Amino acid sequence: MKDNPTRRPLRALRLGLVGMLLPLTLSSTAQTPLRWNSTATVDTTQHREAPAQPMPYRVSLAQRQVLPPAQGFDVRAFEAMAQQLTVGQRVPGLSMTIVQNGRVLSARGYGVTDVAAPQPVDSHTVFRLASLSKAFAGTMTGLLVADGSLRWDSKVSDYVPNFQLSDPLATRRATVADLLSHRVGLRAYNAYDRDIEANAEYYSVAQKLAYAPLECAPGQCYAYQNVAFSLIGDVVFAATGSFYDQAVDRRIFKPLGMNDASIGLTGIQSSARWARPHVRSRNGWVSVSPKPTYYRLPPAAGVNASASDMAQWLIAQTGHRPDVLPAPLLATLHSPIIATPGEMRAGWRRERIYSASYGLGWRVFDYAGQQVVFHAGAVQGYRGLVALVPGRDLGIAILWNSSSSVPSGLLPTILDRAIGLPAQQWLDVPYESDLLMADTPDTRTNDSGSSATRAAASPD
């Protein structure tokens, strides 16, 4: 069933209505965009319906029905597919993590860290997460909301005095939740990313937000951001007295046992083993140095992690570490806030996504009738995908160290099998191949969890 245009949007939720539970469905929380007139005085008493707010933290949760993965969900077959993706250096290296019902079904590496000096990728090889980092920012903020240090409707300007938008009223209205759900109101998507890519410093670029045209009042329309999103790092510092990376390490990495995880360029370069980024040349893949640019935006794109780390992260995000991430907090983070129909237009999403929204550092999809909490990430030489399927208590993370889009088809392949959809050829690796189903020397692993057969270092 496709999106129903007559579906009523979720009514605004005020944080004071503690007993109200935002249903964990994919119904839209879209608000009608309002063209923001920065020269006009807006009468807030006549303003449109208040923007949707995140579900209050302290609410009771309805018991959800969780099913096991459908028949035909074969982790060994998925591992064989991942291995095949590195054969002949179609991609240099890749890691894949699958957890279900709080157990790690697979957390392995495939291929090599660097085609110029090949070492096998294993379960502790660190990859750059790019925009998968946004879920860590949402979770870090949620922990502060849970302990009373912040509120989702806390005003950004109360914590970041230098924060300015092009209209004073908009500056005063923008909230913590608006930052994390890309509802600051800016007209342009990815505002000032080009400045970051040109090696500008974050704080000088963040000041330019004062001149960025507004499309709507904060909270009422969606435009994906990196610079504006990263203001949450300043909010965390103001609320805790700790730098953002220190706060995430103390509240998330260490309690979850994410022992390979770090934030920033120094973090990945000091890792015991890390995957170098690769770009295409006329002779095949070439390893390059990781760019420092988006590392200057730690909340938006600063996290580094291994397959082992992602296993712990997925277990926590699927509700099996309530000592660190309580269930009501996860329900808030994973709930849709603002509709993002543009996410339904390309590739496998066009075929499988019936509706799309953004929550707090996470996307929320209706994937063929099943709720999927998702995010993708990409910077030069790295790409990654993460998906949670609450109805199957399933988490998947796929990371690779190249600009190739080929591994992207591995995710819908796994999702289809998990929820019992007919097999579709998302990858050019046949699912029923004898090679994939056989226990051959090419698919056995060594003790470190990496591929036992090192991929060749020659180009395609």
Written as one string, the DSSP assignment of 333-369 is HTS--EE-GGGGSSHHHHHHEEEEEE-SSSEEEEETT
Q: Are 185 and 217 in contact (CB under 8 A)?
A: yes
Residue 453: the pLDDT is 28
Show the low-confidence residues of the chain (pLDDT under 70): 1-53, 55-64, 429-460
Residue 443: the pLDDT is 32
Strand order in the sheet with 262-263: 127-128, 303-305, 262-263
Q: Are 206 and 227 in contact (CB under 8 A)?
A: yes
Distance CA 210, CA 117 (A): 46
Q: What is the pLDDT of residues 212-257, one digit of tens each?
A: 999 999 999 999 999 999 999 999 999 999 999 999 999 999 999 9
Prediction pTM value:
0.84
Locate all alpha helices (DSSP H) within 74-192, ordered by sequence: 75-86, 133-146, 156-159, 168-173, 176-180
Distance CA 10, CA 231 (A): 27
Count of residues making up the chain? 460
Return the bridge partners of 356, or none.
Answer: 365
3 state SS for 303-332: EEECHHHHHHHHHHHHHHCCCCCCHHHHHH
Residue 428: the pLDDT is 79
Residue 361: the pLDDT is 98
Residue 62: the pLDDT is 53
Tracing tokens 């934030």 back to the chain, one arrives at 263
DSSP category for residue 376: E
Amino acid at 168: P
**Token representation of residue 447:** 């003790």
Residue 172: the pLDDT is 98
